[in-house]
Amino acid sequence: MTTTTQEKPKASPVLAGGPAPDMFRRLAGMPVVTGKRETMVVHSPLTLEPLGEIPKCTEADVVEAVRRARAAQPAWAARPIRERARVLFEFHKLLFRNEAALLDLIQVESGKARRHAFEEIMDTAGVARHYAVRAERYLKPRRRRGAIPLLTVTHELHHPVGVVGAISPWNFPLILAITDLLPALVAGNAAVLKPDRRGSFTALRAVELLREAGLPPEVLQVVTGEGARLGPPLIAGVDFIMFTGSTATGKTIAAEAAPRLIGYSLELGGKNPLIVLDDVDLDQAVEGALRGSFVGAGQVCVSIERLYVQERIFDAFAERFARATRELKLSAALDWSGDMGSITSESQLHTIELHVQDAVAKGARVLAGGRRRPDIGPLFFEPTVLVHVTPAMTCYAHETFGPVVSLYPYRTVDEVIERANDTPYGLNAAVWGSDVRRAFDVARRIRAGSVNINEGYGATWASTDSPIGGFKESGMGRRHGAEGILKYTEAQTISRQRWLPLSAPGDMPYQRWARIMSWLLNLQARIPGLR
Instruction: Give the strand pairing for 220-222 and 450-453.
Output: unpaired
Angstrom CA distances, 303 to 265, 296, 429, stand at 20, 9, 9
For residues 458 and 452, the answer to whether their CB atoms sit within 8 Å is: yes
Rounded to whole angstroms, the Cα distance separating 299 from 402 reads 5
| SS3 per-residue string spanning 229-281 | HHHHHHHHHCCEEEEECCHHHHHHHHHHHHHHCCEEEEECCCCEEEEECCCCC
Beta carbons within 10 angstroms of residue 387's beta carbon: 17
Q: Catalytic site residues?
A: 267, 301
Comparing C-alpha atoms, which of 420, 433, 385, 423 is closest to residue 405?
A: 385
DSSP track, 479-503: BSHHHHHHTTEEEEEEEEE-SS-SS
Rounded to whole angstroms, the Cα distance separating 56 from 224 reads 6
Buried b (16+ CB within 10 A) or exposed e, 114-132: bbbbbbbbebbbbbbbbbb
For residues 268 and 477, the answer to whether their CB atoms sit within 8 Å is: no
Rounded to whole angstroms, the Cα distance separating 274 from 117 reads 23
Beta carbons within 10 angstroms of residue 82's beta carbon: 12
Angstrom CA distances, 380 to 40, 47, 357, 465, stand at 23, 10, 16, 36
Comparing C-alpha atoms, which of 109, 124, 265 is closest to residue 182?
A: 124
Angstrom CA distances, 121 to 190, 209, 220, stand at 23, 13, 20
φ and ψ at residue 43, rounded to 5 degrees: -105, 150
